[in-house]
């Protein structure tokens, strides 16, 4: 979660084995959260808000609902100087137009206590529009300082107090840990690894505080397949299988195909929650520009006979609509150069 602006194919036997692994877990289908509106939205420049209007954002949300999505990142309570599309008037209008929708998990991200106060002021709690509150911080100190302007421990303590208060109000909470797979510091040209022991402890902390899920993010798409497997295996081993069904994977990547390949590894290891965006738009201005495309991820699962409960035809139509109306007309904020893969 980011807010500060600044190949070879497998051998035939390997492919056959991959299909077998996927088929074994067919009864535990993936839960896909679409993050298009929040991640694309936070990168839209102020000069293009006449295109990225509250009305078209609500239209996209309704399209996602019609396609079968139950989980969507919609809004972010970040300062509008950083993300102009998240200006309070627009958020209030979108929340009102969407209304309170039963059986739907609408997620609004909150970066700090000021953002939490906005969340409450917008009446997004269970007595109002009933949004899920998303908290986040980075597993790498350098990125946390660049993104949230505080240390990891400071961010954790802030989030601890937010979750405690939110839980007392009956607000559903989900948590995200960024840069779990490493962070490339452009100033020092150094790839910094996350402390996986600390990541596991923080995961336990937020589950204990009441978070429903914890999602691990490859912020910059720095982890190739082998590194993705190593890190996820390490975390799952440290956790000894605890709450595996509540862990998620959120890959940023300049290559949607590469991100989906990593998601396949995560699925094989037992992860069942995945974030994606239509057309692969979004990403992070301090990281890789792009996500895994929602439509390609669903197509991948369907190819392997894994049920998602989502309507591929409607999703493809919606992706084409967004490309025509928004992506082809709005240049997003530029991100850093692609960091090296591990």
pTM: 0.89
pLDDT at residue 290 in the model:
85
Beta strands in the chain (DSSP E): 31-34, 71-76, 105-109, 132-138, 173-178, 183-185, 190-192, 214-218, 247-251, 273-276
Q: Indicate whether 332 belongs to any domain.
A: no
Average of per-residue pLDDT values in the chain: 89
pLDDT at residue 185 in the model:
86
Share of the chain above pLDDT 70, in %: 88
pLDDT at residue 13 in the model:
33
Confidence of residue 10 (pLDDT cuts 50, 70, 90): very low
For 119-177, write each residue's pLDDT tens digit.
999 999 999 999 999 999 999 999 988 888 899 999 999 999 999 999 999 999 999 99
Backbone angles phi, psi at 232, to 5 degrees: -65, -40
Residue 226 has pLDDT above 50, yes or no: yes
pLDDT at residue 187 in the model:
84
In this prediction, residues 78-106 reach a mean pLDDT of 96
Q: Which residues pair with 109 in a beta bridge?
A: 76, 134
Share of the chain above pLDDT 90, in %: 77
CA angle 171, 177, 182 (to 5 degrees): 170
For 49-77, write each residue's pLDDT tens digit.
999 999 999 999 999 999 999 999 999 99
pLDDT at residue 12 in the model:
32
Domain span holding position 267: 18-327
Q: Indicate whether 339 belongs to any domain.
A: no
What is the CA 94 to chain-centroid distance, rounded?
A: 20
pLDDT at residue 29 in the model:
87
Q: Indicate whether 340 belongs to any domain.
A: no
Q: Indicate whether 335 belongs to any domain.
A: no
Q: Indicate whether 338 belongs to any domain.
A: no
pLDDT at residue 28 in the model:
64
Q: Are 45 and 331 in contact (CB under 8 A)?
A: yes
- 3-state helix, strand and coil shares in percent for the chain, rounded to the nearest 5: 45, 15, 40
Residue 341 has pLDDT above 90, yes or no: no
pLDDT at residue 19 in the model:
37
Residue 204 is part of a domain; what is its CATH number?
3.20.20.70
Residue 36 has pLDDT above 50, yes or no: yes
Higher pLDDT, 1 or 276: 276
The two tokens of residue 162 are 């937010």
Beta strands in 105-185 (DSSP E): 105-109, 132-138, 173-178, 183-185
Number of domains composing the chain: 1
| CB proximity list for 153: less than 8 A, separation 6 or greater | none
d(CA 274, CA 253): 14
Residue 85 has pLDDT above 60, yes or no: yes
Confidence of residue 2 (pLDDT cuts 50, 70, 90): low
* C-alpha dist (Å) from residue 310 to 69, 152, 164: 7, 37, 34
């Amino acid at each position: 979660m980011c807010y500060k602006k600044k190949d070879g194919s497998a051998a035939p036997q390997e492919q056959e084995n991959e299909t077998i692994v996927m088929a074994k877990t067919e009864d535990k289908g993936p839960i896909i959260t679409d993050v298009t509106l929040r991640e694309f939205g936070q990168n839209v420049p102020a000069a293009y808000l006449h295109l990225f209007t509250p009305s078209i954002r609500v239209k996209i949300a309704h399209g996602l609902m019609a396609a079968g999505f139950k989980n969507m990142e919609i809004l972010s309570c970040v300062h509008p100087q950083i993300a102009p599309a998240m200006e309070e008037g627009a958020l209030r209008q979108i929340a009102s137009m969407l209304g309170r929708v039963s059986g739907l998990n609408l997620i609004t991200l909150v970066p700090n206590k000021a953002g939490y106060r906005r969340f409450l002021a917008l009446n997004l709690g269970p007595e109002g529009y009933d949004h899920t509150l998303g908290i986040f911080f980075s597993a790498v100190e350098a990125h946390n300082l660049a993104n949230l302007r505080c240390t990891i421990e400071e961010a954790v303590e802030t989030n601890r107090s937010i979750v405690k208060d939110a839980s007392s109000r009956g607000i559903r909470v989900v948590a995200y840990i960024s840069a779990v797979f490493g962070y490339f510091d452009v100033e020092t040209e150094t790839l910094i690894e996350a402390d996986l022991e600390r990541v596991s402890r923080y995961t336990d902390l937020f589950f204990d505080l009441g978070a429903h899920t914890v999602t691990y993010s490859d912020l910059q798409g720095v982890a190739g397949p082998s590194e993705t497997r190593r890190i996820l295996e390490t975390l799952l081993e440290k956790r000894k299988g605890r709450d595996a069904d509540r862990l998620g994977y959120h890959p940023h990547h300049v290559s949607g195909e590469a991100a989906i390949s990593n998601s396949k590894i995560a699925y094989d290891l037992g992860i069942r929650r995945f974030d994606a965006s239509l057309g692969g738009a979004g990403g992070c201005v301090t990281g890789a520009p792009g996500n895994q495309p929602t439509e390609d991820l669903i197509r991948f699962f369907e190819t392997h006979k894994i049920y998602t409960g989502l309507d591929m035809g409607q999703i493809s139509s919606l992706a084409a609509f967004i490309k025509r109306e928004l992506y082809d007309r709005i240049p997003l904020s530029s991100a850093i150069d692609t960091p090296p893969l591990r």
